[in-house]
Chains A and B, each alone.
Chain A
Amino acid sequence: MFELFVAMFREEWRIHAVLFGPAMFALLPALIGAMAFMGAFLVPVVNRALPAGDLAAIVHILFLLLGAMVGGFGLVGNEVMNRRFGQASFVAYAARALPLSEQRIFAAFVAKDTVYYLILWILPVIAGVALASPFIGLPPEAVLRLFLSLQLAFLAGLAGLFLATTVYGRSKGAFAGLAVAIVVAVGAFSLASGALPPFPPLAVYRDFSWPVLAGTVAAIGVALAVSLLLFRPQSAGGERRHPDRFTGLRRRLGRLPYPALGAKDLLDLWRSGGGVGQVLFSLLLPLGLCWFLLSLLAPVLPSHGVLLLFAVLAGVLASTMYTWLTAFDTLGAYACLPVGVGDLIRSKLGLFALLQLVPAGVVLGAALLSGGTDVVLPALGLALGVSAWSVGVTVYLAGLSPNVLVYDPRVLLTYLAGVGLPVVVLVVLGLLHPWLGLLALVLIVPAVLVVRSGIRRWEAADSAFF
């Protein structure tokens, strides 16, 4: 069991090291620690606009989402890895040839994720906050509580995702029943108490007591144990059949430069479990969270400030749609076809432009619902201009592997600087006068130039993609 854990741990490191370079990836915890250190100094400033409790809740929710994301990647990541490494095989699969039960493999997998991301994310954050704590008046015991509670929030996300997917794998009806029961329970609690139910890891931070800690650990342990008991590996013999959708889609995308490539990407997105779920979890939910957080700042912002800031964030988030179009692509499939890296990037950007209807619709809806119809045009301009520029920077820095942005500190910092500076200028201009937000559309011109330069750059690179 321990050997399996060590092999999985080493494998996780090597995957990241191969994807992002060992030195760069090793620097990531340092970068996270530095950002946490600097971010900690902003806490007193943010607390003036937000109650301290809300900020703690947001941080814990982010770690909950991180846990869910890591868990989700563990379950579907083989597709992404196949795309990057060809026919990828993992210790978890290889171990099936050994006298080990699926439950033991799964348990080792969970243990590996827990320790790996403790070292990669949670310890650096805590180290950064601990270093800053004397300057911001955070007592050492609060740092210790934060260490515990963030780890528990991460594990709650991981365990919750595993439980949800395990139940779903057993019975879609049971999954729907569980989802309805949770929604009803949360709704009933909220109606009765006028507040959302407590999030146990957050309670460990806010109101630490040994019973709360024990209860939280027990709840996570039960979720993981139930996942282990119910876990049933996907049958290798399943065959999913579909009628021809490619021909019709290709015809409908006839105005795009590469309709066949675009049709394939849309089918990848839809059939990989993306589509509605992807839009919901990667765009609408984060945007909903953004709207909620920005609305807390409404008292200190000028009129329509919330909508314009929301439009900027919508633009940045919308640029991640490019990641959707690359995540499940098996680039080895193009090795035998007359297409180059430039063709693939241009095709994905054509589809990306089409998909901008979604964030545009969201911004339009937000404007209508918030009474901001008089500034809807600058809001749309901000969203689309920022999105175009952000995706341009992404293409230049990461080509067809935009997930590199997350893990390569050098690329991440360049991206943050490249996107952050124009965004700050646009936010200031937009807050000075809403219609100045339309200037964001000017960003489309440098975005096109940056994309062209990026295509030249990635075409010249050794096509390790193939």
Chain B
Amino acid sequence: MAMVIEARGLSKHYGETVAVDSLDLEVPAGALYGLLGPNGSGKSTTIRMLTGQTPASAGTATVLGVDAAADPVGVRRLVGIIPEQETPPSFLTAAEYLRFAGAVRGLDGIEEAAAWWFEFLDFGDKKDVLCKDLSRGTRQKLMFAQAFLHSPRLALIDEPLVNFDPIVQHDVKEFLVDYVRRGNTIFLSTHILEVAEEVCTGFAILHRGRLLATGTPDELREAGRHLPDVFLELVRQDRNHV
């Protein structure tokens, strides 16, 4: 099976602090892959390294066949990204930001796609509002829309659901499942375990920057286990061990 993400010994140190420690990870094409972990476990740092936002201290990462360290802009050209914090430019309006993102990606005629996203995420009434005046939820919707504007084969999305209301969360989950069905891949970082169990086809559990386990919800179901229980057990064991 073709891998869209391959990480070998990927590490990130900030001085004495080890954010990610020798991570080995393979994500197959067509997966909705969940990167799970408590706060501060290294999920966001992993996504930042995979998308070339920050260089790894050690190890390698290949995303869609592109070396993330050697060609970070090349990786970002291919993939869709929702960063950890919703940060659209303060002084563009929501609609202008989508035009901006489209222009930077070299896309023409994004008007139709933008209109679809405004309607799908139900924020068309905010399209002329400056991003700095948008609520967190609306900014998150905007970042979600820009990540999928160019229909990427792979999207790396960091806690995409936290600011959404239950209706939008439901719609977005359906969108993600459908997007993967159409042959694309989603790499989803989250600590909402119920969501991961519901939609993910594979998962990796991180704690203190180290990989504790990988698997699939189907494997857990066959063993009569639930992802939240397994997650809590592993993290607590690791916490006690440390």
Stretch of B26-34, B92-100, B230-238 lying at the A interface: B92-100
Q: Please tell me if B23 contacts chain A, counting CB pairs below 8 Å.
A: no
Whether the pair A332, B133 counts as a contact (CB closer than 8 A) is no
Q: Which of A87, A264, A335 contacts B92 (CB 8 A)?
A: A264
Whether a CB of chain A sits under 8 angstroms from the CB of B162 is no
- List of B residues within 8 angstroms of A246 by Cβ: 92, 96, 99-100
**Is the C-beta of A245 less than 8 angstroms from some C-beta in chain B?**
yes
With beta carbons under 8 angstroms apart, the residue of A79, A239, A330, A340 that contacts B72 is A340
From B77, B87, B99, B103, A87 is in contact (CB under 8 Å) with B87
A270 CA to B96 CA in the complex, in Å? 15
CA distance A239 to B197 in the complex (A): 38
A328 touches B90 (CB 8 A): yes
A363 to B128, CA, bound (A): 39
CB distance from B178 to the nearest CB of A (A): 22
In angstroms, how far is the closest chain A Cβ from the Cβ of B154? Answer: 13
Instruction: Please tell me if the beta carbons of A260 and B53 are within 8 angstroms of each other in the complex.
Output: no
B100 touches A268 (CB 8 A): no
A69-114 contacts to B, CB under 8 A, are: 79, 82, 86-87
The answer to whether A241 and B128 touch across the interface, beta carbons within 8 angstroms, is yes
Complex partner residue of A272 from B53, B55, B91, B100, CB under 8 angstroms: B91
B63 close to chain A: CB less than 8 A: no
Distance from A237 Cβ to chain B, minimum over Cβ atoms (Å) = 9
Given known pairs A247-B99, A336-B80, A339-B104, the reply for A82 and B90 (CB within 8 Å) is yes
Q: Give chain B nearest CB distance to A418 CB in angstroms.
A: 28
B213 at the binding interface (Cβ < 8 Å): no
B73 within 8 A of A: yes
User: B53 contacts A268, CB within 8 Å?
Assistant: no
A173 at the interface (CB under 8 A from B): no
Question: Known contacts A335-B83, A336-B81, A336-B147; is A242 also within 8 Å of B93 by CB?
Answer: yes
Residues of A with C-beta under 8 A to B181: none
State whether B103 touches A463 (Cβ < 8 A): no
Q: Is B192 an interface residue (CB 8 A)?
A: no
Chain A residues lying within 8 Å of B72, measured Cβ to Cβ, are: 340
Proximity bits, B99-111, A CB within 8 Å = 1, else 0 = 1110111000000
Interface centre among B88, B128, B132 (most CB of A within 10 A): B132
A3 beta carbon closer than 8 Å to chain B:
no
Query: How many Å from the CB of A20 to the closest CB on chain B?
Result: 17
* B77 partner, pick from A244, A330, A333, A338, beta carbons under 8 A: A338
From known contacts A336-B83, A338-B74, infer whether A241 and B129 are also in contact, taking CB-CB under 8 Å. Answer: yes
Closest A residue to B150 by beta carbon equals A338
Minimum CB–CB distance from A267 to chain B (whole Å) comes to 6
A271 part of interface (Cβ distance < 8 Å) = yes
| Pair A338/B133 contact, Cβ less than 8 Å | no
* A87 pairs with B85, CB closer than 8 A: yes
Q: Which residues of B contact A239 (CB under 8 A)?
A: 126, 129-130, 133-134
Is B43 part of the binding interface, using a Cβ–Cβ cutoff of 8 Å?
no
Say if the beta carbon of B68 comes within 8 Å of chain A.
no
A104-142 to B contact mask, C-beta < 8 Å, 1/0: 000000000000000000000000000000000000000
Whether A336 contacts B143 by the Cβ 8 Å rule is yes
Quick check: is A240 within 8 A (CB to CB) of the other chain? yes
1/0 contact trace for B57-93 toward A, CB 8 Å?
Answer: 0000000000000001110110011110101111111
Whether the Cβ atoms of B99 and A244 lie closer than 8 Å is: yes
**In the complex, residue of chain B having the shortest beta-carbon distance to the beta carbon of A339:** B104
Most chain B Cβ neighbours within 10 Å, of A239, A245, A263, A272: A239
Check A86 against B76 for contact (C-beta < 8 Å): no
Q: Which chain A residue has the least Cβ–Cβ distance from B80?
A: A336
In the A-B complex, the 7 residue pairs with the smallest Cβ-Cβ separation, listed nearest first, are A332-B87, A260-B103, A336-B81, A338-B77, A246-B96, A271-B91, A338-B76
Q: A246-B100, A268-B91, A328-B90 are in contact. List 10 more A-B contacts (CB 8 A).
A: A87-B87, A244-B96, A244-B99, A246-B92, A250-B99, A263-B100, A333-B87, A335-B81, A339-B76, A463-B53
